[in-house]
Chain A
Amino acid sequence: MTRVGVDIGGTFTDLVALTPDGVLEIRKVGSTPRDPSLGLLRSLEALGLDGVDVLVHGTTVATNALLERRGARVVLVTTTGFEDLLWLRRQDRAALYDLAKHHPEPLVARRDVIGARERMGPDGAIHALSGSEVSRVTAEVRALAPESVAIALLFAFRHPEHERRLAAALRAALPNVPVTASHEILPVFREYERTSTTTAEAYLRPNVAAYLRKTATLSERHGVRSLRIMTSSGGTLSPEQAANRAASLALSGPAGGVVGARLIGAAVDAHDLLTLDMGGTSADASLISGGVALTEGAESVAGVPLALPTILIETVSAGGGSIASVDEGGALRVGPRSAGAEPGPACYGRGGMEPTVTDACLVLGWLDPQYPLADLVHLDRAAAERALSTLPLSHDVCEIGAGIVQVATAVMARALKRVSVARGIDPRGMALLPFGGAGPLFGCALADSLGMSRVVVPPHPGVLSALGLAAAPERVDVLASLHRSLDDIRDGELARAFQPLVAAAAAALPDAGVTRFVDCRFTGQGYEVTVPALRDDPATLAAAFQAAHRARHGHGDSDQPIELVNLRVVAERPVPAAAVGRRAGIGIPSAGRRMIVTRDGKRVRADVWPLGEMPPGRHLNAPAVLAGPDATGLIEPGWRGIVHASGAVILERT
């Protein structure tokens, strides 16, 4: 069975194919931002294989529509008296000390919000929705000729009857316009976040659906038997399902990377991982605990609050293209400005003049100017030196370069801490898995600053996201609100409440393994802790919750009663483990030695090894450069490496 993953980034479209004979095919083609499906098509043509069984696609269509505000014209229906919710947000200002700063505008225009005269309260209808009101609202919505409709009424997470009636009437009246109701998308409390998420779903649906239709047609024409779309939570959906879960594709791209990291971790027997994907403008940190990627509600994507389950991602502005500058107090800063892919770092020779992290790495000798980066970009060391020497720090460009990589390391370390330490998870016993083209250059430095003693450099760090897609399990998440005190749960009640969720998950993904979770909290708390519901007995759940709460928040012995808030069911069909090491389709760099400068400014002679091409068991002494066709890594003094059977290089302290 051949599985293919295609990851579309800002600059490159990466393809990884897992073939039945265990060979990994890798293709990299230029992205086509105006019509991303063209890049996908070209990568499939470059692969040239007939008979792809499964193509898993990580798409930035939803992300970019949010970033560039290019979604549908939405009409939003709310409860009368609450039409301004999206503008009131949560009332906090955009910046504590910058009094002129505004929050990003909502995705809908104020004149396109319609209040429906109805009101649900905690215990049901306070003001019933009349038939004539349904007709009035329907007529008003139709008069606005929307491209998409969102309905978000107060308390619909608990009492969805009014939303259901409005949705039915609108769907009947506007058969060609997608209608999204909040209880279908996010049946949980907090009206602002639910309304914002529902509006985002409506905003994205037409674009996403059109793109998915086109992609489905293209891939079918190329002999792909099944197309799956990666979601923000790390699972995959059919194109038809994904079209009705558009907002859950907002982090489709980064999720593929985390899935790939999990796969490599499993191959080298490292089940507790911090992962760091270093791209051109930013770095994404995530966490895998016990072989499971941590999933949480994201706070927001591109300034739009989205409360959907998402693989935990903390993004910081430190990528290869991040620009270094010195502020008026004399501190060296990296980011948030970025040279991006165009013009790119100074060393790309495409007109960039400001010093970037990539320029620093080149000046330090970590990157090889003889060898084109990612097959397509040639590096100009003199241009990098010129850019670095504009910083008023030192006469020695290497010293400046070392400073830049140290600051970039500090910024990325903060993201790694937010996903670990800030959640009560001690990173010191975990392994760090850096990827992206430049990530493995920073593995040892990041491990040092978090007190970690193990780094796993994957065999093909630059296309790990595409590999993750190729190997992604099929996964469906189902969620329902069940707000009850744990003490009040009677025998068999929990099993009964889970039953329809389990059935829905099983129907969406036959033959999958089903895992049940509950979100619990101490009564009165506002945030939940998710724990597996292994059994239906409340005492077991209570103990699991208290232990998880203690680990996360430092205390767990409250005498407050414990309450259930949500039930979650995850259906997952894993993909058979694939050989991840052997590959074909791209060039092999040669070994050698060269002078490099370490991040503390020392000039040392380093071995150069071809990443992903070394025999298992080979020991690698520091300092060494791991040069791959799609990425570069570094073994710093104080560390040593050994090549694992999978092709990954495992670094440990000497």
Chain B
Amino acid sequence: MRLDAVGLEVMAHAFASIAEEMGLVLVHSALSPNIRERRDASAALFDADGEMIAQAAHIPVHLGALADAVAAVRNLEPHPGELFLLNDPYAGGSHLPDLTLIGAIDIEGRVAGYSVVRAHHSDIGGMTAGSMPAGARELYQEGLVIPPTRLTPDLERLLLANVRTPAMRRGDLAAQRAAVERGASGLRSLARRHGWAALSDAARELLDYAERRTKAVLRKMPVTATATDYLEGDGVIDDDLEIRVSIAIEDGVFHADFTGTRDAAPGNVNCPIAVTRSAVLFVVRTLLPDDVPMNGGVPRAIEVTAPPGCLVNARAPSAVAAGNVETSQRIADTVFRALAAGGCVVPAQGQGTMNNVTFGGSSWTYYETIGGGQGASRGANGPSGVHVGMSNTLNTPIEVLEMEHPLRVRTYALRSGSGGAGTWDGGEGVVREFEALAPMETTLLTERRRHGPAGGAGGLDGKAGANLLNGQRLASKTTLRLVAGDILRLETPGGGGWGKGHES
């Protein structure tokens, strides 16, 4: 069946509404603030060949990387109706707290597609409460590693025995499972109405359509350029760590080659290649018109290569917890910088970090990320106090945080004057100040504490961020013990400005 213009639109709505439903089921019934309030989770439907048909627009870093998770499950030759769990970054995962549940959708006795829900669980064991340690040198220190595995009650018992907050994990997993099942039943009912053959043809047509749209845009921008940017240490060493990318847009295909990027770091800022691909995909997606459906057709126009064993194509057992959240940001920054070097008009750099903060004790954990300044664009100031790049989670309401954990928020405000000036100003960062009300452990995984986000086209850089304990500066990545009364203050970076001087 070759879909006409009308059929395309109709089916795109049908698939997208299933993914939206999956997201609603998850958020409305999950237990942990990280999933239900911050929505650190994503839902998507894949076809039988492992290409993404539709997504609920949540977190960029999840969505680009989900195809690798489905591929890892397909290697196990799934039977219709089976349910899989994984978090192994080297077999379809991103970092260990992201538990990915994948259902093989049964239609007429065959695996007709996959219903996928990835959610960040605020503990998966390992050396620190919250499983986002600073200073981990091996994956094993970061928590329980789960290769693609059939999810059985026994596996769930094993998992729950290895985490600090089993009741919350059980509740979140139940919500996740219900969301996967909602995706499967949604696709089944669509198949009942249209017939399975017509439906899978439609999915394929939609992917082709997104590919056509993507290539049409890329064909109009032939660019060849190279750029470099740096991470600021990895929690073990404090050096600047080089990421280098050469991009070449040829005949509608976006090539990104990371040759020249340094070897995997001793600490946990390394990325599996899936995360790297997802950061490149994010950049390409920002170049496309808003209405291009986000599905597996877009990545068909993207080729990512990186030397095995380098920082952005790490090998087991390199540690990765911060790679997914921080290095992914820097990869996107570097690719944007290459586009600018190649003559494309792109926004100035945004805060370039997710400002990961974890608190916890033996029986509780809490994780959040904090927004900052978006880079200015030609024609618009950068938005203030938002998540940029690879994240788009919500905040946890202060009233929720304080009712559930021994923490008090003393200030939550925009960081006035932190955005870089320009013809268009960068967005402002955020100030968030916590007071510990009991002894606890805390981990910070942050970036852009040394080099502020770069301005574009002559605009000034945004102000670098700062982490302070009782007024004393802390490292960008660190694990500490707090006592009651300690005050931890994060000042997140402002976005870069765009253009020289103010237009009258």
Interface residues, chain A, with chain B CB atoms under 8 Å away: 81-85, 87-103, 121-122, 126, 154-155, 157, 189-192, 326-333, 393, 403, 406-407, 409-411, 413-414, 417-418, 421-424, 449, 451, 522-527, 549, 552-555, 558-560
Contacts and interface: CB of A to CB of B under 8 A. Distances in A.
Contacts, number: 217
A149 to B, nearest CB: 22
B314 to A, nearest CB: 27
B395 A406 contact: no
Given A88-B430, A122-B402, A410-B9, A102 B20 contact: no
B395 A88 contact: yes
26 contacts: A82-B411, A84-B414, A88-B430, A91-B370, A91-B386, A91-B394, A91-B430, A92-B39, A92-B387, A92-B393, A95-B290, A96-B392, A97-B290, A98-B286, A103-B383, A157-B399, A328-B213, A403-B6, A417-B21, A522-B31, A522-B171, A524-B167, A527-B27, A549-B29, A552-B28, A553-B25
Majority SS at the chain A contact face: loop
B289 A99 contact: no
Contact of A403 (B5, B32, B384, B400): B5
A395 to B, nearest CB: 15
Contacts of B31: 522-525, 560
Given A88-B413, A332-B6, A422-B20, 4 more contacts: A87-B385, A93-B388, A97-B60, A329-B209
B397 A192 contact: yes
B212 A329 contact: yes
B347 A100 contact: yes
Nearest to B26: A553
B197 to A, nearest CB: 19
Interface in B265-302: 282, 285-286, 288-292
A84 B385 contact: yes
Given A101-B383, A524-B171, A81 B17 contact: no
A425 to B, nearest CB: 11
B17 A126 contact: no
Closest A-B pairs by Cβ, 4 of them: A526-B36, A524-B31, A554-B178, A100-B380
Contacts of A449: 10, 193
Contacts of A413: 13-14
A102 B17 contact: no
A444 to B, nearest CB: 15
Q: How large is the interface on B (under 10, 10 to 19, 20 to 34, 35 or more residues)?
A: 35 or more
A333 B9 contact: yes
A191 B397 contact: yes
Interface stretch (B67-75, B371-379, B475-483): B371-379
A413 B18 CA distance: 12
Contacts of B398: 82, 154, 191
A451 B430 CA distance: 49
Interface in B311-355: 347, 350
Contacts of A99: 286, 347, 350, 374-375, 377, 382, 388
A329 B297 CA distance: 13
A552 B178 CA distance: 10
A406 B8 CA distance: 11
A338 to B, nearest CB: 16
A407 B178 CA distance: 31
Given A122-B402, A422-B24, A560-B171, A327 B6 contact: no
B16 to A, nearest CB: 8
A251 B386 CA distance: 29
Nearest to B193: A451
Interface in B397-446: 397-400, 402-403, 408, 410-414, 430, 433
Contacts of B198: none
A100 B382 CA distance: 6
A91 B175 contact: no
B503 interface: no
Nearest to A451: B193
Given A99-B347, A522-B31, A328 B377 contact: no
Nearest to A332: B5
Nearest to B35: A526
B292 A329 contact: yes
A333 B12 CA distance: 12
Contacts of B13: 410-411, 413-414
Most buried by A among B20, B29, B178, B179: B29
Nearest to A122: B403
Contacts of A560: 31, 167, 171
B36 to A, nearest CB: 4
Contacts of A522: 29, 31, 171
A93 B398 CA distance: 19
Contact of A526 (B347, B370, B400, B412): B400
